[in-house]
Structure 1
Amino acid sequence: MMRFIKPFIMPAVALAAWGTALPASAQDKGPIRIGVPTAIQLQIGRDTQTGVRMAIDEINAKGGVLGRKLEMVVADETENPEQGIAAIKKLTADEKVDVMIGGYTSGVTLAQLPHIARSKTIYMEVGAASPAITQRVKSDYDNYKYIFRSFPINAAHQARGLVDFISGMLKDEMKIQNIAIVGENAKWVQDLVPILKKGATEAGANVKLSEFFDTSTSDFSPLLAKVKDSGAQYLIVILSHASSDIFVKQWYDARFPIPIGGIDVKGQDQDFFSRVGGKAISETVGNFAVRAPLTAKTLPFWDAFVKAAGTAPVYTGVGGYDAVHIYAEAVERAKSLEPDAVIKELEKTDYTGVAGKMVFDETHDVKAGPGFVNLLFAQWQADGKREVVWPKQIATGKMIPPPWMQVQ
C-alpha cells in the first residue's frame, strides 16, 4: 500500500517558470498522470513515491503544467520480472498514465522494456543501473526512444567513481594498494566489475581477489575467509539485493581485520546503522546525494524530504523528485503531452538537480563526470552519523578504521 504524503509547498527550492497558463478549456482535459512503478515494500520504493509527490505538490502549487494539475498513480513491481511487467501493463493499459517514473532492479527493468516500447509511453528510470537498459535506445531508437535513465548514473560510471575512490582515497591517502572485490551475482554488478577491475589495476592497485556471490547468501564466512587469505588490505563490496544487514553483522562480529566499503544500496538507508545495531561503523558507502551543498537545491530538498517522510532519502527519492521536474519542463517547452514532441525536449535537457547537473547523452542516459552527477562516499561513524570522506573537496570528515583495528 502506498504511503500518502501531506501536500506542502517548499519555497526554498528553486522552481521552474511554467509560463502562461492555457485557457480553461485546457484544464478540462483532467490531470496529467504520472505512473510510478516501484518496489513499494522497500525504502527504495517508498522514497521514490515521496520524491515524486514532493515535486508534484510544488508544481501544482504553481498552477500545474499547461494549465493541468499532476497526479501520481503507483504500481508495485516488487523485485520480480513478471510482477514488473504486470505493473507496466497496469499503468499504461488500465491507468493510461502520461509518463512513468520509477524502477529499481535492472533485471526487472530489462524485462519491462519491450512492453514500455509497445505502449509508446515515456519511461524515466530512477533506480536501475545496468548500461544495457539505455543501449536499446542506441540500437533501436524508433522503438526504444521512450526510455530515459535520469537517475542514478549507470554501472559503468559507478565503476569509474569507485576507481577514483580506490586511487585517490585508498592508494594515495591511506597508502593501501591491495584490494579485494566481492559483489552479488546480479546484472548491474556483472556490468560493473570488469570495468572496476581494469580501472583499479590501471590506477596501480593490486586486485588480489574478485568474486561473485549469490543474492540469497546467508553465511558470508567462507567468502570472508577467502578475502582474508588473499592478502587484501581493503574489501570493496558491491550489493543491492543481497542482505547488507547479514553481511555487515557477520563482518563486524568476526572482527574482520580488513575495512569495507563500496556500493551497498541498502546501506544507504537512513535507519541502516540502527537496524544492524551499530555494526556498520566504519563502512564507507557510495551515495549519489548526501546532505551537503552539491547544488543550490540539495540542502532545501534534503530538509524538506526529512520533514515530509521522517527519514533522509535514498537515491531514488532524489531521482524521482528531479525526474518529475525534468518531465514537466519538457512538456512546457513542447506545449504538448504528445510523446514524440516531449522526447525531443527531454533530449535537450540541461537541468541542475539535487545531486548535480543533469544532461542526457545520445542513449538517453544521464551523464556523469566533472560538472555532472557523480558518486560520493560517506562513512558510517559513531552514533550513526555519516561523514562524506570522498571526494576530498566536499569531505565533511576524516575516514576512520573499524574500532578493533589500529589506525593505518
Structure 2
Amino acid sequence: MDVILAGIIFIVSYTFIMTEKINRAVVAMAGGALLLLTGIYSVNDMFTDYIDWNTIALLFAMMVLISITEKTGLFSFIAVRFAQQVRGSPIPLLIGVSILTAIGSALLDNVTTVLILVPIVLKITKQLNLPSFPYLLMIIFSSNIGGTATLIGDPPNIMIGQAVDHLTFLSFINHLAPVAIMMFVIMLGVMLPLFRRTLRSGKSNVDELMNTDASAYLVRTPMLYQSVAVLTMTLFGFLLHAFLHIDLTVIALSGAILLLLVTEKELDAEQVFSQVEWVTLFFFIGLFALVGGLESAGIIDELARAIVLWTDGDFAATAILILWISGLFSGIVDNIPFVAAMIPVVEEFAGYGMVYLDPIWWSLALGACLGGNATLVGASANVVVAGLAEGSGRKLSFIRFMLYGIPFVILSLVIATIYIYIRYLIPYTS
C-alpha cells in the first residue's frame, strides 16, 4: 500500500510541478505533507534522513553572497562595459554575452547569472534595435553549459556533489569542465552562422550605448571592495577545500556570514534576507521530502534493479543509458526534481556489484545539465529567462526555442557519449 500511495503522491506532485499552474514550492511541500499524513515516513525520518540540509545551506549561502555583491552594481558595470568595448556590434556582442554567461554560471550559479544579465541584455538590445531572441537563446544555452563545469554552477551538480563525498569542487572542474568548454565552442560554431543574417545593428542607437556611463552603475563604497574580496576568498576556498579538509557548505556559510558582518553598516541583514530566493529553497526541501517517500517505500530500489536488469549489469551500457535518460527527461521536466529522484537510484547500483560509480555520476550530471537546453522548462535558468523576457514584453516562444533546443541537446548528448566512452569506459573495460 505504501508503494502505491508514495507513487501516486510523487506522480501527481510532479505533474503539477511540470505544469506550473501552482507555485512549485507549494506543490512540493504539499506532497511532503501528504507523505507524512499517510504515514509513509515519520517527521524524524524526513528531517534527518531525506532532506539534504547541506545542499539547502550551500544554496542559501551563495544566495546571500550574490545578493550583497549585486547591490554594488559590479555585475551591471561589467556587462555594460563589455557592450561598449565591442561598440554594440551584434556578433561580437552575442559572443561576449555568451562568454559572460558561461563564466558567471560556472563561478556563481546559472540562475543568479541570468537574473543579473538578462535585464541588462534586454535593455542593450532594445537600444540597438536588435532582436532579443538570439541573445536570450544563447544566454540559456551558455548558462546550462557553463553551469555544467563546476560543482556550484547548476543545482543538479550541487545535489550530486553533496551526495558523493569524494567528488570535490576540483573533481567537477577536472571531469566536466573539458567537455563543457568543448560544448561551448561547438555551440558558438553552430549558432552564430544561424543568426548572422538576422543580426543587424541599429547604428543610429550605438551612440546612446556609448554615451552610457558604465561606472554610474557602481556603488563606490567599502561594500564594493568587501564583496569582491569575500566572494574571491570563498571561490578560492571552494578550489582548496579538499586540501583544507573543510566542507564546501562550511566555506560558503563562513563567506556569507563574514560578508553580512562587514557590510552590516551599509546594508541591513533584513534587506539581504528579503532578497534570498526562499521559494527555491522551500522547493528543494519539498523535493527531497517527495523523493524520500519513494526511497522509504522501496520504489528507488526497484527502479535501480530494473535499470541493472535492462542493461544486464553491463557497466558501460548503464553509464550511457543514465546519460541519455537524464538528458532526454531533463528536456521534458525540470532537471532538479529528476536528479533528486535519480541520486538514490545510482547509489543503489553499488548493491549490484558496481563498485566504481564515478562515470555514472558524471553521466548523470552531463545528461541533466546539458539536457536542460531542450525546452523552456528543462532547467530553472530557462524558466527565469522566459519570465524576465515576458515581463519586458519580449516573450520567448516555447516552440521556437524547442526547434533550436532539441537538435542542440541531441548533438550535446552524442558528444557527451563519446567523451564518457573515451575518457572512462574504454580504460575501465580494457
Q: Which of the five TM-score ranges fits, normalised by the shorter chain? A: under 0.3
Q: Which has the higher helix share?
A: 2
Question: By percentage of residues, which structure has more strand?
Answer: 1
TM-score, length-scaled by structure 1: 0.26
Q: Does 1 or 2 have the higher relative contact order (CA < 8 Å, sep 6+)? A: 2
